[in-house]
């Protein structure tokens, strides 16, 4: 090649023409992985289509649709066809379109896709990388299920596809296309395509640079979005069992190209472009994520003078920048700390002063109170003493009275008797003076007895 270059003809078979075989063998031994994300509203036939595409039954339980937000549910299956192993991951958007406010419905999908890119980037940035055995979970194809309304795309569909188009290969499909008539379907497809173009939504285009598949791929690009029908039910048509959906008015055959685009989808997604989808994911979408992320982290390929920037230089520049920022922050924090300490000290001093004042006030109050109480106590003591004295005097008086009480009674008794005696005596005197008869010498005389005599008689008989 080029001028002066020497052509070296081979004299015989060397063997490097077996390189493709070596590559194939290695890849077959290692196995492949493919990750599909199904985005679409509840009940649009996502699970049925996956089962129909891979000719198996994936999901067991139907999912709940009463969550407050969209959740991504991922399931990985190990499939084998001939001697080729495929690790297939099917990610479902549970609850997509179920909320009244659908504003944030796309967010969890974007976050999920970014999280897979981030995990791969972290693995790449590791010192000890194990990328050959790493389970790559990056989404290779996003099947976007459009409801067969026959009108136009819903704003939820447009917003979600717009947010996803730079992160994933979007293949739009019209779900349950047996629900829409042939003429309506043609118009619907045109309408969807024009809406996608006018809103700048980039959908995946089957590659036309490989001449072996260029023709079929360019034809298929014209059939997008594919109108699909899914079913795992087998129906006997002629002498063949085919997958179909049976209705009272007829049968829709899933694999009949006159009935729907299921075969086109399977051909394009699995049989022709699976590897291109994987490659596009790595070289286009992941690359974009990686570039943005590394730029965010401060890595650049060229310096301001457009000279190549080595990783070492970038690292050191970033380190210096970081250290500078750190020092600045440290200084700021130190000053802030000193300031806060000063403020706190002032506050504490103020509080201490207030406490002292309060203490003094309370002390004075306490002293006054104590003095008052002591005075009161003194006066009470005096009162008590006086009371005791009075009590003693009273007791004394009482004793005396009690003692004196006995003789007085006697005396009074005596006096009363005397008085009574005097009264009797007086009456007696009077009586005797008036009525006593004295018998003298056989004669009875009524005589007045001299009172002295009476007194003598009475006194003699007093006791």
Residue numbers at the binding site for ligand GTP (CB under 6 A)? 40, 42-48, 62-63, 176, 178-179, 229-230, 245
Is-contact 72 44, C-beta < 8 A?
A: no
Identify the sign of the CA torsion 9, 12, 14, 19: positive
Question: Which residue of the chain is nearest Mg ion when measured via CB?
Answer: 47
| Nearer of residues 220 and 254 to ligand GTP, judged by Cβ | 254
- DSSP symbols for 210-251: SHHHHHHHHHHHTTPSEE------EEEETTEEEEEEEETTEE
Assess 52 for contact with Mg ion (CB under 5 A).
no
Can you say whether residue 399 is alpha, beta or left, with left for phi > 0 and alpha for psi between -120 and 50 degrees?
alpha
Sheet holding 71-81, edge to edge: 71-81, 84-94, 32-39, 141-146, 170-174, 226-227
How many Cβ atoms are within 10 Å of 156's Cβ, its own excluded? Answer: 17
Residue 253 C-beta: closest distance to ligand GTP, Å: 12
The answer to whether 168 and 285 have CB atoms below 8 angstroms apart is yes
Distance of CA 86 to the CA centre of its chain: 39
Pick 139 or 229: Cβ nearer ligand GTP: 229
Q: Does 160 bind Mg ion (CB under 5 A)?
A: no
Residues binding Mg ion: number (CB under 5 A): 2
Alpha-carbon dihedral of residues 188, 192, 195, 201, nearest 10 degrees? 180
Closest CB 59 distance from ligand GTP, rounded Å:
7
**CB closer to ligand GTP out of 46 and 278:** 46
Min dist CB 252 to ligand GTP, Å, is 7
Q: With CB cut-offs between 5 and 8 Å by kind, which of Mg ion, ligand GTP, none does residue 69 bind?
A: none
Coil, strand or helix at 94: strand
**Residue closest to ligand GTP, measured at CB:** 45
Q: Which two tokens stand for residue 14?
A: 């060397």
Select 245 or 285, whichever has its Cβ closest to ligand GTP: 245
Q: How far is the CB of 191 from ligand GTP (least distance, A)?
A: 20
* Strands, E assignment, 40-105: 71-81, 84-94
- Quote the least distance from Cβ 38 to Mg ion, whole Å: 8
**DSSP H or E segment with residue 372:** helix 311-435
Q: Applying CB under 5 A, does 47 fall inside the site for Mg ion? A: yes
Q: What does 176 interact with, of Mg ion, ligand GTP, none (CB < 5 to 8 A by kind)?
A: ligand GTP
Using the rule CB under 5 A, give the single segment among 46-54, 148-156, 187-195, 297-305 that binds Mg ion: 46-54
CB 321 to ligand GTP: min, Å: 49
We find the least distance from the C-beta atom of residue 22 to ligand GTP, in angstroms, to be: 41
Tokens 């009463």 belong to residue: 66
Q: Which does 105 bind (CB under 5 to 8 A by kind): ligand GTP, Mg ion, none?
A: none
220 versus 228: smaller Cβ distance to ligand GTP: 228
- Counting contacts by CB under 5 A, is residue 93 touching Mg ion? no
In the complex, the residues that contact Mg ion under the rule CB under 5 A are 46-47
């Amino acid at each position: 090649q080029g001028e002066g270059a020497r052509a070296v003809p081979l004299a015989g078979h060397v063997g490097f023409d077996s390189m493709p075989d070596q590559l194939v063998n290695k890849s077959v031994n290692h196995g492949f992985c493919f990750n599909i994300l199904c985005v679409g509203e509840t009940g649009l036939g996502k699970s049925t289509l996956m089962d129909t595409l891979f000719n198996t039954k994936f999901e067991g339980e139907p999912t709940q649709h009463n969550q407050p937000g969209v959740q991504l549910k991922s399931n990985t299956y190990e499939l084998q066809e001939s001697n080729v192993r495929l690790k297939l991951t099917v990610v479902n958007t549970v609850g997509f379109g179920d909320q009244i406010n659908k504003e944030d419905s796309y967010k969890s999908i974007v976050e999920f896709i970014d999280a897979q890119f981030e995990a791969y980037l972290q693995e790449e940035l590791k010192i000890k990388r194990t990328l050959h055995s790493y389970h790559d979970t990056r989404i290779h194809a996003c099947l976007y299920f459009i409801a067969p309304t026959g009108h136009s795309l819903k704003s939820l569909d447009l917003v979600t596809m717009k947010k996803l188009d730079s992160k994933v290969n979007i293949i739009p499909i019209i779900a349950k296309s047996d629900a829409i008539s042939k003429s309506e379907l043609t118009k619907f497809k045109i309408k969807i395509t024009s809406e996608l173009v006018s809103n700048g939504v980039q959908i995946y285009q089957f590659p036309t640079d490989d001449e072996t598949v260029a023709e079929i791929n360019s034809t298929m690009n014209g059939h997008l979005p594919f109108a699909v029908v899914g079913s795992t039910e087998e129906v006997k048509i002629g002498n063949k069992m085919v997958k179909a959906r049976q209705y009272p008015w007829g049968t829709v055959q899933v694999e009949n190209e006159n009935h729907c685009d299921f075969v086109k989808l399977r051909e394009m997604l699995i049989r022709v472009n699976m590897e291109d989808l994987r490659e596009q994911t790595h070289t286009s979408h992941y690359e974009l994520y990686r570039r943005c992320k590394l730029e965010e982290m401060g890595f650049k390929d060229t310096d301001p003078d457009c000279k190549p920037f080595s990783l070492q230089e970038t690292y050191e520049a970033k380190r210096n920048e970081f250290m500078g920022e750190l020092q600045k922050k440290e200084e700021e924090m130190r000053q802030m700390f000193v300031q806060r300490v000063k403020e706190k000290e002032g506050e504490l001093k103020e509080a201490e002063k207030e406490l002292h004042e309060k203490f003094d006030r309370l002390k004075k109050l306490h002293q006054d109170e104590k003095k008052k109480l002591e005075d009161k106590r003194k006066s009470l003591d005096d009162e008590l003493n006086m009371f005791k004295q009075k009590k003693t005097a009273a007791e004394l008086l009482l004793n005396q009275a009690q003692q004196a009480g006995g003789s007085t009674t006697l005396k009074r008794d005596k006096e009363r008797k005397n008085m009574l005696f005097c009264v009797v005596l007086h009456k007696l005197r009077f009586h005797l003076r008036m009525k006593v008869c004295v018998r003298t010498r056989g004669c009875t005389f009524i005589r007045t007895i001299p009172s002295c005599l009476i007194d003598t008689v009475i006194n003699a008989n007093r006791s």
